[in-house]
Chains A and B, each alone.
Chain A
Amino acid sequence: TQLLEQSPQFLSIQEGENLTVYCNSSSVFSSLQWYRQEPGEGPVLLVTVVTGGEVKKLKRLTFQFGDARKDSSLHITAAQPGDTGLYLCAGARGGTSYGKLTFGQGTILTVHP
Chain B
Amino acid sequence: GAVVSQHPSRVICKSGTSVKIECRSLDFQATTMFWYRQFPKKSLMLMATSNEGSKATYEQGVEKDKFLINHASLTLSTLTVTSAHPEDSSFYICSAPGQGESGYTFGSGTRLTVV
Contact = CB atoms under 8 A, between A and B. Distances in A.
B67 interface: no
Contact of A86 (B41, B46, B103): B41
B46 A88 contact: no
B41 A108 contact: yes
A104 B107 CA distance: 19
B42 A42 contact: no
Interface stretch (A13-21, A67-75, A95-103): A95-103
Given A40-B109, A42-B93, A42-B109, A105 B43 contact: yes
Q: For chain B, give the interface size range.
A: 20 to 34
Interface residues of A, number: 24
Contacts of B100: 45
B98 interface: yes
Interface of B: 6, 9, 32, 34, 41-46, 49, 91, 93, 95, 97-98, 100-104, 106-109, 111
